[in-house]
Amino acid sequence: MSAALVRQSEAPLLQVEGLTTSIRVGGAWRDAVREVSFTVAGRETVALVGESGCGKSLTALSIMGLLAAKVGRVSAGRITVDGVDMVAASERQREAMRGDRVAMIFQEPMTSLNPVLTIGFQIGEALERHRGMSRKAARARAIELLERVRVPSAKARIDAYPHQFSGGMRQRVMIAMALACEPRVLIADEPTTALDVTIQAQVLALLAELQREVGLAILLITHNLGVVASVADRVLVMYGGDVVENAPVRSFFARPTHPYSEGLLKAMPRVDSAGELVAIPGHVPTLPDMPDGCRFQARCPLRIERCTERPPLAPLRADPAHEVRCWVRAS
Amino acid sequence: MLGFILKRLLLAIPTLVAVLTVVFVLVRVVPGDPTLVILGDQASGQARADLRAKLGIDRPIVVQYADFLGQVATGDLGRSLATNRPILDDVAHVLPYTIELTLAAIVIGVAIGVPLGVLAARRRDGVADWFARIVSLLGVSFPAFVSGILLLIVFAVQLRWFPVISTPRTSSVGDRLGSLVLPALNLGLLMVAYVTRVTRSGMLKALGEDYVRTARAKGMGGRVVVWRHALRNVLIPIVTVVGLYLGALIGNAVLTEIVFNRPGLGKLIVTALNQRDYNLLQGLMVVAAFGIILANVLTDITYGLVDPRVTAR
Ligand SMILES: Nc1ncnc2c1ncn2[C@@H]1O[C@H](COP(=O)(O)OP(=O)(O)OP(=O)(O)O)[C@@H](O)[C@H]1O
Ligand code: SF4
Ligand SMILES: [Mg+2]
């Protein structure tokens, strides 16, 4: 295990150790997530960042046990949610965990809600399932939850359908739904990417507020380093299925160490610098073309001969809470 | 919802007028002289002219057209040329049989097609899926009279489970149902085929949708996800396909009635054709047009029930 520093005094609610997830591409199983380890404690937000296709969603779905069996599987590692081993658990036990101890919200509020069921029913459903509530009690609780996520005139809109809500309101409904059973762990897969900038900020603020209130552990998946800087405690940078950098958010922005992280930061638009945006040259190789050794080697300006071997994720000597997977930068 | 239903009904009126016009024109362009049918070829020119005047077919076509529309509007379909009985009476007498048969076919189609389609989608390429594919292939590729004759040979002639001629002799419910089974199965097979097909493909799509993943993320089990979250959405294409093929169903009901020698619109149509009874034929077409337009309106209303986004439009 890495020397992950738990900043709060609470025990980690989500522990991922050596998670390897394989998916089937053209008949062959390939590792799309490789030996990922991290922990998230109560009240802590860990951000997972990286370009499209680097394995962020697969990591999240692995934790939830939602990989489609024919396409993906957890091939190694341990995932513990609130003390329950999600990999060893039966599908029935995982079902009992989902929506109760661990919940997830998705990127697309437009398509993630069922168009033919009322939002009141969709929020109350988890309460009926996990809390044995009657339909009526669940509906009453759903109204409270809608009020909690500040959907205006919740009582009047409880029997409305998703198409009657705006994108931002739908995402609030998703949050109400995810938090219905007061889970300990929340996984948010790009919860604000599909929203306008102002709505994004509101939704993030709401999540932070709810987190403080109930002590949630949040795993936040995002493309947006600005979001990371404002809400995360720790950041994991993924590239080609590998965690390439794992650091407290302050040291990450002070000393981005992996060449890929540097590239990401240079490609990030900033208000305070007049400097040009520099895109990282090249693109992420597809899984079948993924090189052995360091997966970033084809795009890395610092590449040395040794980079054809896979570097370990190693703590920096100056800051052991800050880990980097790079032959050149880790020393 | 009420406003929505009213709107659909009003929208059906222009369609109805258009269809009535087509029926009117069709009947008048078919070759053949109705007076020949009624009076035979020995009658004098004077007798023919008298009959024409009596039937009103000597008047200008526009007047006939207005007259026809007016009659239909007041629910009068005219009298049969052959028997001089009011057509509406003849139709009212046999229509329940055809409606009964068509409804039974829809019930069979949905009751078998939906579960079969769901099962096929859940176990793609499994046994149920292959079975579903064979059933839908057979259902759409056998003409109703061929499958009807096959059913008769197997179940009525060989196994003697059902009567060969399905005219109920008594009015007992059991008898009536017994005589309905084979024809309904014959017609239902077609519906099973369509419904299975659309359910299977709809479910395959729905099970990959984001909202299904959301339901699973809430801890919903496979059964709830399939029957509540996915199938509710697939009801929309199922209603579409049932509505769409109602016309074809009514056509096949006619064939089925003939094969099974069952009373109904089918037999009436054959009679009308054999006797060149243009009035009866016209009346039957009007009834069929009403039936199909009514079915369309019902389909639209059902949409409103299964898809909350429809009534909002
Ligand atoms: N169902 C699937 N079938 C085949 N390949 C898949 C499937 N899901 C994911 N992949 C592949 O797995 C890799 C990781 O995908 P993942 O969805 O985790 O990326 P991501 O980091 O979430 O990207 P994004 O930012 O676009 O959401 C990608 O190469 C992707 O093509
Ligand atoms: S290990 Fe080599 S190729 Fe990979 S990031 Fe470091 S220097 Fe670049
Ligand atoms: Mg993703």
pLDDT of residue A67: 93
CATH topology of domain B88-312: MetI-like fold (1.10.3720)
Quote the CA–CA distance of A197 and A201 in Å, as a whole number. Answer: 6
Q: How many CB pairs under 8 A join A and B?
A: 75
Query: Can you tell me the mean pLDDT for A173-181?
Result: 94
Assembly ipTM: 0.89
pLDDT at residue number A3: 41
- Is the pLDDT at A279 greater than 80? The verdict is no
A210 to chain B nearest CA, in Å? 19
Question: What stretches of chain A show up as alpha helix (H) in DSSP?
Answer: 56-64, 91-97, 119-131, 135-148, 154-157, 167-179, 197-214, 225-231, 249-254, 259-266
User: CB B211 to CB A113 under 8 A?
Assistant: yes
Is B210 in contact with A112 (Cβ distance < 8 A)? yes
Q: Which of A20, A21, A22, A23 to mutate to test the pocket of ligand 1 (most atoms within 8 A of CB)?
A: A23
For a ligand 1 pocket test, name from A49, A54, A106 the mutation site with the most ligand atoms within 8 angstroms of its C-beta: A54
Question: What is the block-wise mean pLDDT of chain B (313 residues), using blocks of 10 residues?
Answer: 82 86 81 71 80 78 87 84 86 89 93 95 88 85 77 77 64 73 88 94 95 96 94 93 84 86 86 83 86 85 85 59
Q: Does A125 touch chain B (CB under 8 A)?
A: yes
Nearest ligand to the CA of A284 is 1
Confidence of residue A271 (pLDDT cuts 50, 70, 90): low
Instruction: Please compute the mean of the pLDDT values over residues A48-63 and round it to a whole number.
Output: 94
How large is the average pLDDT for residues A10-22?
91
Pairing of strands A72-81, A234-239: unpaired
Banded pLDDT at A158 (limits 50, 70, 90): very high
Q: Is the pLDDT of residue A8 over 50?
A: no
A17 CA distance to ligand 2 middle (Å): 23
Residues with CB under 6 A from ligand 2: A 259, 294, 296-297, 300, 302-304, 307, 311, 326-329
Residues of B in contact with A129 (CB under 8 A): 218-220
Specify the pLDDT at position B312: 58
Q: Does the CB of A113 have a partner CB in chain B at under 8 Å?
A: yes
Residue A66 sits at the chain B interface (C-beta within 8 Å): yes
- For the domain made up of A3-232, the CATH class stated in words is alpha beta
Residue A9 has pLDDT above 70, yes or no: no
User: Given this model, what pLDDT does residue A199 score?
Assistant: 84
Q: What is chain A's mean pLDDT, rounded? A: 90
Q: Is the Cβ atom of A168 under 6 angstroms away from ligand 1?
A: no
**Number of H-type helices and E-type strands within chain A:** 10, 12
pLDDT at A276: 62
Instruction: Write out chain A residues lying below 8 Å of B220, CB-based.
Output: 95, 99, 125, 129
What is the average pLDDT across A135-153?
Answer: 94
Candidates A161, A163, A155; CA nearest to A139 is A155
Are A95 and B221 a contacting pair at CB < 8 A? Answer: yes
Spacing, Cα A238 to ligand 3 middle (Å):
12
Residue contact B217–A129, C-beta within 8 A: no
Nearest Cβ partner for B309 among A95, A103, A163: A163
Domain locations along chain A? 3-232
Identify the bridge partners of residue A222 per DSSP, sorted by sequence position: A49
pLDDT at B225: 95
pLDDT of the residue at A275: 57
Q: Which of A116, A161, A177 is facing B218, going by the closest CB pair?
A: A177
pLDDT of residue A2: 40
Q: Which atom of ligand 2 is least distant from the CA of A306?
A: 2
Distance CA B279, CA B174 (A): 36
When pLDDT is averaged across residues A52-70 and rounded to a whole number, the result is 93
Tell the burial category of B117 from Cβ atoms under 10 Å away from its Cβ (0-12, 13-18, 19+).
Answer: buried
Angle at A196 between CA A177 and CA A243, to 5 degrees: 70
Of the candidates A77, A16, A7, the residue with the CA atom closest to the CA atom of residue A45 = A7
A150 in contact with chain B, both atoms CB, cutoff 8 A = no
Tell me the per-residue pLDDT of A237-269, one tens digit each, with 9 for 90 and over.
Answer: 999 999 999 999 999 999 999 999 999 988 877
From chain A, pick out residues whose CB is under 8 angstroms from the CB of B216: 66, 98
What percentage of chain A carries pLDDT values higher than 90? 73
Determine the pLDDT at residue A4: 43
- The stretch A193-206 carries a mean pLDDT of 85
- The pLDDT assigned to B15 comes to 85
- With an 8 Å Cβ cutoff, are A114 and B232 in contact? yes
Contact A174 B214 (CB under 8 A): yes
Q: How far apart are the first and last CA of chain A?
A: 19
> For an interface test with A, which of B123, B213, B214 has the most A Cβ atoms less than 10 Å from its Cβ?
B214
Angle at B58 between CA B56 and CA B63, to 5 degrees: 70
Q: Which of A212, A230, A220 is nearest to A42 (CA)?
A: A212
- The proportion of chain A whose per-residue pLDDT surpasses 70, expressed as a percent, equals 93
